[in-house]
Amino acid sequence: MIAPFDSALFLSMLALIAAVIVVSALLSGMIERSGFPQVAVFLGLGAVIGPAGLNLLNADLNSPILRVVANLSLVLVLFTDAVSINLTEVRHHRLLSALVLGPGTLFSALLIAALAWWWLGLNPAVAVILGAALASTDPVLLRGLLRRPDVPPGVRQALRLEGGMNDAVLLPIILIGMTILSQGRALTGKEWAQLGLNILILSPAAGAVIGLAAVGMLELVRKRIGVRRDYESIYSLGVAFAAFAAAESVHGSGFLAAFAAGLTISAVDVELCDCFLEYGETTAEMALMFAFVLFGTSLIWTGLSIVGLGTLLFVGAVFAARFLAFIPTLLPAPLSWRHRLLIAWFGPRGLSSLLLVSLPVFAGLPGTQGLLTMCCLVVLCSVFLHGLSPMALIRNQPGLPEAPVSTSIPTEPSSTVRESLAAEPVRDTASATPSSEPVALGDPEYITIDEVQEFQRRSVPVVIADSRSERTYNESTEEIPGAIRLHPERAIQSAAQNRIPKDHVLAVLCA
């Protein structure tokens, strides 16, 4: 029998989605300038509409909406993390990657698990699950931090690598713990082999096959018909969900498959990655913020119900465990002590920890009922401490260098742009008298190579800017000589630093 349509619930959810989108858009500029954690805003929004506020929605453990959104968000977290991985950067910083994702992440999880077993008296398998969940660094909190131009480059690289890949290291640990709890006994050799086959082969293989098939179909359609760039981002989201469904249908882990699919796309199709990062990442981030609002209605505040000397000391020990794991781990890396300390401190716990620890809780496994409450307390403390500390710890630190502005138009072309750009000699617009005759553009939003040449022939001041995505810019060995670098996420700031005159024509390469 079909359940009756609940119009009140539908309107509440529609209003909530609208509120998340509107609030995130209107406050985005203020939050970015102030450094205030964006997550805290959505947790506050959840509190306003929750039982303690307007009582419009209460997403507790039994809420089907929370369960669906939590699983959906975890798929998006893992897929987005994988797609955003710059494999060239990983190879270039292979030592740092190995240290952060290997001993750094694993030692953190092990130390927290030992604390949970000894301090909280948890079952060893339950303690391992909690340790793995609390060792996860939150990509949403890190995303805001890594966008700051004053983050030191070494710290940025380490945290970007960790935020993009450590969930894939920790998720198998949680799956193993869940399997042991579900069996209620030690696993036999055959069961360990089956579990290893699932985690190491079956689930990643399902994701990789879906990723390769998706890239192949997209490439075929690109060549024959063409695909709009914004729709490629939607296509990426479909690939993530298809990978999840494929793995679950063969009794694998859909979450690991989603990560494998994203990693496959990152390795095979950089253009599709860039499309997703330009358009789809915003959609994914809205879904994650929506999950924060749902947790913020009531569930996350249950962490405050267990506040006491013992639990606060445990929270402090969790933060200290990261220092104990990362400081010795990072010794072989060519980093200053200050940078090591910053990396060891900025391990924010947030939505990823809540989502990971929710897996055994939603499954109803024995001994996991209190895990989410403890995790909520750690996350609340982390949002406050890690969210506000960037303003005090990394202010006035050098960020990414900006290329100096050129005083003349580039006189040599890049072979990838078009040889025709250099077909005619270019005059220096700083000393030439511009023509009063207007240049007609075929499209007011786009400028062609021929139109740039026409501006140059008439001595119209033109500045050529390279605003390619960071991934494409870093992986490319080709450039337009004399072009300035406008960072795509900080275009206005870059333009101001390079002193680009407002009356000049700006020709932007943004492929």
Q: Which amino acid is at 56?
A: L
Per-residue confidence (pLDDT) for residue 441, from 0 to 100 = 56
Q: How confident is the model at residue 410 (pLDDT cuts 50, 70, 90)?
A: very low
Q: Which amino acid is at 407?
A: T
Burial 38-58 (b: 16+ CB within 10 A, else e): bbbbbbebbbebbeeeeeebb
Tokens standing for 479? 């450039």
Per-residue confidence (pLDDT) for residue 474, from 0 to 100 = 60
Least confident of 133-147, 330-344, 372-386: 133-147
Answer whether residue 453 shows pLDDT above 90. no
Tokens standing for 187? 């696993």
267/276 Cα distance (integer angstroms): 14
Residues 6 or more apart whose Cβ sits within 8 Å of residue 107: 324, 325, 326, 329
Query: Edge-to-edge strand order for the sheet containing 484-485?
Result: 484-485, 462-466, 505-509
Per-residue confidence (pLDDT) for residue 415, from 0 to 100 = 41
Question: Residue 121: which region, alpha, beta or left (left: phi > 0; alpha: psi -120 to 50)?
Answer: left
Per-residue confidence (pLDDT) for residue 278, from 0 to 100 = 60
Q: How confident is the model at residue 369 (pLDDT cuts 50, 70, 90)?
A: confident
Phi, psi dihedrals of residue 146, rounded to the nearest 5°: -70, -15
Tokens standing for 145? 């931090």
280/187 Cα distance (integer angstroms): 41
Scan for tokens 């003349």, then name that residue. Answer: 408
Selection from 224, 221, 236 nearest residue 274 by Cα? 236
Per-residue confidence (pLDDT) for residue 219, from 0 to 100 = 84
Phi, psi dihedrals of residue 446, rounded to the nearest 5°: -125, 150
- Average model confidence (pLDDT) across the chain: 77
Phi, psi dihedrals of residue 106, rounded to the nearest 5°: -70, -40
Answer whether residue 262 shows pLDDT above 50. yes
Per-residue confidence (pLDDT) for residue 329, from 0 to 100 = 93
Q: Is 306 helix (H, G, I), strand (E, B) or coil?
A: helix
Per-residue confidence (pLDDT) for residue 130, from 0 to 100 = 94
256, 208 contact by CB (below 8 A): no
> Across residues 282-307, what is the average pLDDT?
84
Q: How confident is the model at residue 406 (pLDDT cuts 50, 70, 90)?
A: very low
Fold for the domain defined by 11-393? Na+/H+ antiporter like fold (1.20.1530)
Q: Is 330 helix (H, G, I), strand (E, B) or coil?
A: coil
Scan for tokens 């999840």, then name that residue. Answer: 244
297, 57 contact by CB (below 8 A): yes
Selection from 179, 209, 178 nearest residue 193 by Cα? 179
- How many CB atoms are located within 10 Å of the residue 310 CB? 11
Burial class (CB in 10 A: 0-12, 13-18, 19+), 378: buried
266/268 Cα distance (integer angstroms): 6
Domain ranges of the chain: 11-393, 419-509
Residues 6 or more apart whose Cβ sits within 8 Å of residue 392: none
Answer whether residue 138 shows pLDDT above 60. yes
Per-residue confidence (pLDDT) for residue 409, from 0 to 100 = 35
Answer whether residue 457 shows pLDDT above 50. yes
Q: What is the pLDDT of residues 62-119, one digit of tens each?
A: 888 888 888 888 888 888 888 877 777 788 888 888 898 889 999 999 999 999 999 9
Alpha helices in 298-430 (DSSP H): 309-329, 337-345, 351-362, 371-388, 390-393
Q: HSE of 221 in the Cβ direction (CA atoms, 13 Å)?
A: 12
Least confident of 28-42, 83-97, 125-139, 259-273: 28-42
Scan for tokens 């914004």, then name that residue. Answer: 230
> Across residues 375-390, what is the average pLDDT?
85
474/353 Cα distance (integer angstroms): 31
467, 510 contact by CB (below 8 A): yes
Pairing of strands 505-509, 484-485: unpaired
